[in-house]
Structure 1
Amino acid sequence: MTDKITLENVSKSFGRKTVLDGLSLSVEKGQSLVIIGGSGSGKSVTLKCILGLIHPDRGSIKVDGRETVGLSGRERARMLSRFGMLFQGAALFDSLPVWENVAFGLIEGQGIRRKEARDRAVDTLAQVGLGADVGDLFPSELSGGMQKRVGLARAIATRPEIIFFDEPTTGLDPIMADVINDLIVKCVKDLGATTLSITHDMSSASKIADRIAMLYQGRMIWEGPAKDVWNSGNDYVDQFVHGRADGPIRMALRA
């Protein structure tokens, strides 16, 4: 298989704090990789470095074999047009109705006329189990679960090659979280997209991942098939996935 995303020796510090410390990973075309790890392990910074929101201090980030670190504004915009993103809090535009939220990338990024964009938005809402009537509502009128579905619809509306999921089930009850996980699996399969997700929710990771990788103190300490994460043979991974207080991972507590 061909690697869609490749990170080699990526490092990033903020002042004296090293967040990524020589991180290397790859995601094959059509694969779903989920990065797990505790708060402060570097998951979000990894995602932001790939998206170009943060510039790494060192290292290489390639998409389809092409270096993306240092791309110009126009080149980066062209690359970003191939991406879809489901943000942690859905991050919908409060002032826009649902259909315009879903169609935002179609109208602003691809220049599609509003009538066609609306039709595609309604079709995409149907893919995540929402009726056409929801398109005329505003985000404030939706439940958390419905907002997350709209966020997913927006992420897939442009039919991206690569989709990023940032804590896709945060704030949802277990049943709605499972609904979102099922929708993610279905939508990604229908698109044939490559996906990179970050989460600390092991139920979500197990369901949506082909492979799972664990970050600890800015380094990749384990990677393997999703089914193997529960019996990884790695003490750090074992402690994290089973939620044990005792183990090599020590949480920093303030006095």
Structure 2
Amino acid sequence: MTSKISLRGVTKSFGPKKVLQGIDLDVAKGESMVVIGGSGTGKSVLLKCVLGLMRPDAGSIKIDDEETVALADGGRADVMRKFGMLFQGGALFDSLRVWENVAFGPIQSDGMKPAQAREVAIAKLGAVGLGPEIGELYPAELSGGMQKRVALARAIAREPEIIFFDEPTTGLDPIMADVINDLIVKCVSDLGATAVSITHDMASARKIGHRIAMLYDGKLIWQGRTADIDHSGDAHVDQFINGRAEGPIRMQVRRL
């Protein structure tokens, strides 16, 4: 089966720091892939390369079997239409009402009339469990969990083929994090979308991922089915998923 997303030999450095060192990764159509790893391991850089926000130093990134690394602006815009994105902090526009935030893509990118876009926004808010009255509020009037739901509604507003989730549960209490995880699973399934998430939250990774890949020191050191991660046979993976201070992964802190 042809991969929806396929990376081969992707590298990215910033000066002497090698952030990505030859990444090979395939994500099948309709699959939910979660990339785990500690802070500073290159997860966000990997996501930005796939999105086209950064250009890798070398390697291939194909979307639907189309090479995207060297695409001109027009071709890049066509590829970007396939993407939806849930940003780490939500990244809602403070000056826009909730429905205007959700409708931003349909209006700005698709040229949809505001009245029609508002109907789409209300429907998507309903898909994440928020009533029409929430659409008239401003982001500052919402709790963190509700803001995250609005951001999810915006990510699915254009019914994308591929959705990226950047640390979707950061800053949420465990119960609200689980609510968001459930909504992500439901929304991705309802759309039949392909999902790529980056997180260090193992509860989230286990719930939303069909497969998990671990990034460490710029390399994918393990990837496989979510159900298999507890038996990875890799000491780095074992230390990370169990949250142990002792192990081969050394935090950059001085010993007390």
1:10 counterpart SS class: strand
- 1:12 is aligned with what amino acid? K
Q: Please tell me whether the aligned partners of residues 2 and 65 of structure 2 are also in contact (alpha carbons under 8 angstroms).
A: no
Partner Cα separation in structure 1 for residue 130 and residue 13 of structure 2: 42
Give, in whole Å, the separation in 1 of the partners of 2:65 and 2:47: 18
Letter matched to residue 32 of structure 1: S
Equivalent-residue separation in structure 2 for 1:132 and 1:30 (angstroms): 29
Question: Match for residue 48 of structure 1?
Answer: 48
Equivalence for 2:86? 86
Following superposition, the deviation at residue 122 of structure 1 comes to 0.1
Matching residue of 1:222 = 222
SS state at 2:148 partner: helix
Structure 1, residues 157-181: CA drift from partner, whole Å, max 9, x if none?
1000000000000000000000000
Aligned-partner SS, 1:61 = strand
User: Match for residue 212 of structure 1?
Assistant: 212
Partner of 2:28: 28
Distance 1:254 1:25 in 2: 34
Structure 1 segment 94-173 matched on structure 2, within 5 A: 94-173=94-173
Q: Give the partner amino acid of 2:98.
A: V
* Alignment-mate amino acid for residue 75 of structure 1: G
Q: Identify the residue that residue 38 of structure 1 maps to in structure 2.
A: 38
**Structure 2: which amino acid aligns with 1:28?**
A
Unaligned runs of 5+ in 1: none
Distance 1:26 1:42 in 2: 17
Name the SS for the 2:103 alignment partner. Answer: helix
Shift of 1:77: 1.2
Partner SS, residue 178 of structure 1? helix
> Matched residue pairs, number?
255
- Partners of 2:159 and 2:63 in 1: CA distance: 17
Q: Which amino acid aligns with 1:241?
A: I
Counterpart residue number, 2:64: 64
In the TM superposition, 1:237-252 aligns within 5 A as 237-252=237-252
Q: Deviations over 1:55-100 (max 9, x none)?
A: 1000000000000001111211111111000000000011110001
Secondary structure of the corresponding residue to residue 24 of structure 1: strand
Runs of 4+ in 1 over 4 A off after TM superposition: none
CA positional deviation for 1:231: 1.9
For the residues of structure 2 that align with 1:181 and 1:65, how far apart are their CA atoms?
29
Q: How much is the aligned-residue C-alpha RMSD, in angstroms?
A: 0.9
* DSSP-derived class of the 1:147 partner: helix
Opposite residue 16 of structure 1, the aligned amino acid is: P
Partner Cα separation in structure 1 for residue 209 and residue 18 of structure 2: 28
Q: Which amino acid aligns with 1:85?
A: M
Aligned-residue sequence identity (percent) comes to 66
Q: Deviations over 1:1-31 (max 9, x none)?
A: 3200001000000011110001110100000
For residues 111-156 of structure 1, the C-alpha deviation after alignment (integer angstroms, 9 at most, x for no partner) is: 1111110001000000000000000111111100000000000000
Amino acid at match of 1:106: P
- Secondary structure at the counterpart of residue 54 of structure 2: coil
For 2:31 and 2:177, locate their aligned partners in 1 and report how far apart those are by CA, in whole Å.
Answer: 21
Whether the aligned pair in 1 keeps the contact of 2:34 and 2:199 (CA below 8 Å) is yes
- Return the letter of the residue paired with 1:204: S
For the 8 Å contact 2:5–2:61, the answer to whether it is kept is yes
CA distance in 2, matches of 1:231, 1:208: 19
The SS at the match of 1:26 is strand
The alpha carbon displacement at 1:254 in A equals 5.3
Residue identity in the other structure for 2:77: A
Q: TM-score, normalised by structure 2?
A: 0.98
Tell me the CA shift for residue 110 of structure 1.
Answer: 0.7
